[in-house]
Amino acid sequence: QKEVEQDPGPLSVPEGAIVSLNCTYSNSAFQYFMWYRQYSRKGPELLMYTYSSGNKEDGRFTAQVDKSSKYISLFIRDSQPSDSATYLCAMKAAGNKLTFGGGTRVLVKP
Amino acid sequence: SAVISQKPSRDICQRGTSLTIQCQVDSQVTMMFWYRQQPGQSLTLIATANQGSEATYESGFVIDKFPISRPNLTFSTLTVSNMSPEDSSIYLCSVAKSYNEQFFGPGTRLTVL
């Protein structure tokens, strides 16, 4: 079993819809959680990070962490075609090693 | 954030040869990392590049196969040695600007024939 599980998608939504992305994890030592966006043939781009249970908002993006369920989510409001990309969750315990999910491919249709 | 460049952006190499990938950052950073992203898979940490000392390798990765240099706080190289088709992958350099912020370069797409 992988330490971090993420549905590969693809997830197809109409423009303006809410995109909902999830990751589950098994390692209770993970304390810090990140979301990255990766466009085709580009490096991952850090969107958000959080380290506490609850919600964190940044513009159209909301990150949610539930440590008791070992479950994290990313919501994208008012989705745009430019949001079409692969979204990667990543997490770490103490230290610097990031453990990534497999990524979810998102397609926002105009 | 950080501006990170990698050279080459892509290469096609023959089996048994070696390729050195360069990573340059626009500011001094303490922590630099090398990741691999195999086709259709997620990112896996190869090693942490330490300035002034040997790199720290993750389980499954060894120095003889992936030698790393870190001559200063803005530059690192990763060499993929004695390549086989299984080494075909995207290799990514990453830097930590703070404890929770790691930024990635554009990647080097390697194909081994």
Q: How far apart are CA B108 and CA B59, in angstroms?
A: 22
- Partners of B21 on chain A (C-beta within 8 Å) are none
Contact A96 B105 (CB under 8 A): no
* pLDDT attached to residue A96: 82
- Partners of B109 on chain A (C-beta within 8 Å) are 41
* pLDDT attached to residue B33: 96
- Amino acid found at B43: L
Contact B107 A43 (CB under 8 A): yes
Q: How far apart are CA B58 and CA B3, in angstroms?
A: 25
User: How far is the alpha carbon of A3 from chain B, nearest alpha carbon, in Å?
Assistant: 12
Q: Write out pLDDT tens, residues A44-95.
A: 999 999 988 889 999 999 999 999 999 999 999 999 999 999 999 999 998 8
Contact B107 A42 (CB under 8 A): yes
